[in-house]
Structure 1
């Protein structure tokens, strides 16, 4: 990200702690109205701005909470902070970017997200509102901290036939969607919000990112589309809006619902627009904007329908369309999912360079070999041999594979060494053109192209531009890995590195549904560190954190592959034991209890007078349980029985027992 935000990092913007506290509070399960009010009250200016915007000046913040709920109050506070610190503040560098137009767009999208979420039954309408408010955060960051202001970037992209996000990715290596998602992850936002911001200009599947994130992304995409077709885009001028197919897949809405949403939002947004001094189009301008959008979409539809007879020419006809090779440069950036990145790239490369087969091998640094990771060919006969070639050794034996990676340049493999002959014969290729895939951090692997045994000869001179495609592929794979790491980190508790409350709840739900539908055994245990408050009071919070880390380490060590461990909150932990009956789960819990006692004995001098122990409650699945929440409550009740009965023990409760 430093290669994009060259004028400083996020910290250089001097954002107030209040903003970060409010954002991070969205991830805390136990955040309540009093917490939100306390955060807002620490800034008198913010408190007044919230009251002015909501019209609750007479009743104060507590009255506003009663009227609108603390989630809506928090969303309004975030809205006011973003307006103050991103929209009205002058950036450190000179910029012509129209921030008020962007703010109008973001407000409209945010309000639309809230109404759409309500229509489709999305669980958290205020989370949807905040996602809409923040979906274009990356544009503000690029403008404030990038090497060039965002207005200049848009102006250049408008002179091409590429859409703005594609141009950003080709020029900067990452679009505003990626910049915004990366920043929100660093700020501790929920995974669903981060993914929705990252993917609101991309294709995705629920099986890859989860149903909740997929629905939230579709909500943002629909809201964005509805804003653009009314002329309420993030820029005064823009290309035609796009409604991705995922919207109809994940949002059960009809045309009547769209009309209702637009009417509701337009009524609501005018009040906020007036407060912030934003020009809002009158009904005549709205009608003109809708007509312009309809004509623009109709022209695109005409191109698709009459593709073989009529080619739609862009308004700036003097600008040539990208060549096949230029289009191939964009192929790696059409997704953030690794499997799709590789498929899109190989498909595009084979078509652009007119070769029969493409393969991506990645470097396994541990085994010191190349591993076959992706194959593409329209000829099914050319796919079969590669499925049997899993690894190519990268030892000291000379080969084009090794030299391609060492020298980071293209090589033509024609069977000059024993290893080359072996690979060539095994996959049925007379020649192979090898191009290194080099990312920002390391050499990722190799793109190998061939035409089979009897196809046309390969010429490296004709494949020279493939090095640029390989570079883009390396960048895209690096971004996909960063997103994967961010996704994994978002599921982990920062202190113990166990699953956090949100993720462990999902795991319990998945396990419960599986045993409900397919049968089998499932047990759940709740654990609590005995007298933990006294640990904190006696030895300090740092030592208390160390105790939690110790307990987490023991849980990780003693939990088998069919178990999942999470921090449930404070000093409470939960263990989900798949394929484990009640007796086996009770024995597991007793092993955990004894292991913690042994750790406590070993640390007795360090924790003088405070022996370390835990209490555990355990239960198991039964068909009488109607939800995972009922099962967790049963384990929690058993835990409190263990605590009330003297602590440092395991108590089990069977359903109905």
Structure 2
């Protein structure tokens, strides 16, 4: 370490003393056992016994790890009863990482936060960056993906230090933020006199964490110089930095304030991004996050929240561009106005496509523009958006181009994926020229991963100007950006649906049930009197799996879901709450109505079970149902859900295949 490095660390240490409530070495930032586990990351002499001993000194942690390794997620053939055996079966890295995740999660959840810095939001960001970093490391054949994962998990630890132990917290910093043209890292230095990366680095040094982790924490916003002792970890830092940027552009930031992130050019120079299949990596990271949510049984900020965060960030960026225009350089060297790229930060095609068409017209003085999308069922290009709106009167709608009938330059555009100019001199009989009453137009392919997803059209029909060939390479980057934006919008819709729907039953999931109840319970209490919650549990469900196999168990769940779907009114809610449990929420009902509805479900399932008894090896498919009607004694919706759950257990204890109403009602039980 050079004298300059030592001086810099001393500066950071001095600044930390001024803003923290105590010496960083004595602050309870992470549990002591987590620090010990982190130190094993690069300890070549570490053995299974060392890891087992550390975990076994924390009985609660040991119990949670054993519970997890014996879950269906790991599908081990025999029950694991010792940490030592768990490490042997799953591997040193897997168990160590599971323990660190549990400890960090417990630390954050116990701390809690209702302020601007949302610890649950922070936890989600850390997990996502960690997961994606490891996936990138695997794709690039890094020798130690688990090390990169740990670095990703801790990269923003400085924000946690400031929030939990700062004289001025990170929440205070967020509250002070206003729309400005400075990066957050610069604003942190103005507010604290130090950045979260610097204070995180100090944390790593004081607790003697492995050098690669300290390097990632210190340099994930700015890769180290060649003379830095951390230069040898440039690849690991770049992976986490790249994952951090991808997280931000999806709205998964470390906090919900409207900050913006930048991607260093040196990151792309360090990583061979061309080797990465980003689509596959994002899908893998999403799968990791789904498994994490199920494991912790916690409602992490949903896609709507993340989208709102991204919208706020985009608004901030657009306002920055008004003060100091942001310019993008295309491959031809022309600088594109920020008005051409800002619309693509939205996730709503009805927002960003019209805005892009309008921006193209403004930038290149076109008179008209159209965005054609592909309708695969009808095998046509469909004019989905156009500017100005009067361009396509009702007589021209719908404006479709049969893909099978395309020829000439337009066919070349689609096949070769290149921009073309079509005019009456070259193709006098072109039907688009005739239909749109113009002498010339340009067509540009809109691509994603080199796959055609649309066609961009523009003309000078009113001004009668000729379209210069030199314009095409200037417009193509916009078409490329548009393709990315359309792909992101489609991915968002798919992920939004996936985040709301249970994949097996196609009913809403537990998260959506909680969201639905949260919205209901925000009403005035006088409007809650006709709300009923019902818990449905399949009787002896384990026998279906054990006797008939898991496919039969899945079929039983689908049958119940289908019956619930067929009997539920619009406006009411049905969902799978977890395992073999379902939940219904009825509005505008009374005790008799709720009971009759539940009995219809129960009896219909019983009848269907009898019909399918042979399929289930003579097992009877029945359900037990518990109902709770709202009363003023319920402080929140979780109390009411718990009451319905208790009623369901009463139905179980009284013989199963029955409905129990848990209230002062005179309604009889079956």
TM-score (norm 2): 0.54
Tell me which residue corresponds to 1:412: 422
How do 1:191-270 and structure 2 match up within 5 A? 209-211=303-305, 214=308
> Does the C-alpha gap of structure 1 residues 398 and 622 become closer, same or farther in structure 2, counting only changes over 3 Å?
farther
> Does the C-alpha gap of structure 1 residues 539 and 623 become closer, same or farther in structure 2, counting only changes over 3 Å?
same
Out of 349, 356, 365, the position equivalent to 1:354 is: 365
Say yes or no: does 1:462 pair with 2:471: yes
Tell me which residue corresponds to 2:606: 597
**1: CA distance, partners of 2:553 / 2:98:** 39
Say yes or no: does 1:394 pair with 2:444: no
**2: CA distance, partners of 1:446 / 1:466:** 13
CA contact (8 A) 1:361 1:446 kept: yes
Cα deviation 1:22-43 (Å, max 9, x = unaligned):
xxxxxxxxx9984247559434
Q: CA deviation at 1:439?
A: 2.6
**1: CA distance, partners of 2:364 / 2:544:** 67
Tell me which residue corresponds to 2:289: 188
Cα deviation 1:424-454 (Å, max 9, x = unaligned):
26xxx77543323233374322212234534
**2: CA distance, partners of 1:364 / 1:459:** 30
SS in 1 for 2:553: helix
> Does the C-alpha gap of structure 1 residues 515 and 431 become closer, same or farther in structure 2, counting only changes over 3 Å?
farther
Tell me which residue corresponds to 2:64: 35
SS in 2 for 1:164: coil
Cα deviation 1:266-288 (Å, max 9, x = unaligned):
xxxxxxxxxxxxxxxxxxxxxxx
**2: CA distance, partners of 1:359 / 1:166:** 34
> Does the C-alpha gap of structure 1 residues 491 and 113 become closer, same or farther in structure 2, counting only changes over 3 Å?
farther
CA contact (8 A) 1:499 1:565 kept: yes
> Does the C-alpha gap of structure 1 residues 649 and 570 become closer, same or farther in structure 2, counting only changes over 3 Å?
same
Structure 1: give runs of 5+ residues left out of the alignment.
1-17, 19-30, 55-60, 123-128, 194-205, 222-242, 248-299, 377-381
Q: Bigger CA drift: 509-518 or 639-648? A: 509-518
SS in 1 for 2:605: helix
CA contact (8 A) 1:394 1:402 kept: no
Structure 2: give runs of 5+ residues left out of the alignment.
1-47, 49-59, 70-82, 113-118, 176-195, 201-212, 224-230, 246-260, 295-300
> Does the C-alpha gap of structure 1 residues 639 and 184 become closer, same or farther in structure 2, counting only changes over 3 Å?
same
**2: CA distance, partners of 1:449 / 1:169:** 34
CA contact (8 A) 1:565 1:575 kept: yes
CA contact (8 A) 2:521 2:637 kept: yes
Q: CA deviation at 1:613?
A: 0.9
> Does the C-alpha gap of structure 1 residues 443 and 101 become closer, same or farther in structure 2, counting only changes over 3 Å?
closer
Say yes or no: does 1:424 pair with 2:436: yes
CA contact (8 A) 1:617 1:638 kept: yes
Out of 142, 152, 156, the position equivalent to 1:106 is: 156
Q: CA deviation at 1:351?
A: 3.8
CA contact (8 A) 2:220 2:238 kept: no
Tell me which residue corresponds to 1:27: none
SS in 2 for 1:629: helix
Cα deviation 1:588-630 (Å, max 9, x = unaligned):
4334323322331222123334211112234556788653334
Tell me which residue corresponds to 1:438: 447
CA contact (8 A) 2:159 2:170 kept: no
CA contact (8 A) 1:191 1:491 kept: no
> Does the C-alpha gap of structure 1 residues 581 and 537 become closer, same or farther in structure 2, counting only changes over 3 Å?
same
Tell me which residue corresponds to 1:365: 376
> Does the C-alpha gap of structure 1 residues 68 and 584 become closer, same or farther in structure 2, counting only changes over 3 Å?
closer
Cα deviation 1:104-138 (Å, max 9, x = unaligned):
8533245457776877999xxxxxx9xx9999999
CA contact (8 A) 1:624 1:655 kept: no
Q: CA RMSD in A?
A: 6.4
Cα deviation 1:569-596 (Å, max 9, x = unaligned):
2211012345666655544433432332
How do 1:460-609 and structure 2 match up within 5 A? 462-513=471-522, 523-541=532-550, 543-559=552-568, 561-577=570-586, 585-609=594-618
**2: CA distance, partners of 1:543 / 1:418:** 59
> Does the C-alpha gap of structure 1 residues 35 and 539 become closer, same or farther in structure 2, counting only changes over 3 Å?
farther
Tell me which residue corresponds to 1:226: none
**2: CA distance, partners of 1:67 / 1:163:** 27
CA contact (8 A) 1:371 1:391 kept: yes
CA contact (8 A) 1:617 1:640 kept: yes
> Does the C-alpha gap of structure 1 residues 369 and 651 become closer, same or farther in structure 2, counting only changes over 3 Å?
farther
**2: CA distance, partners of 1:572 / 1:614:** 10
TM-score (norm 1): 0.55
SS in 2 for 1:210: helix
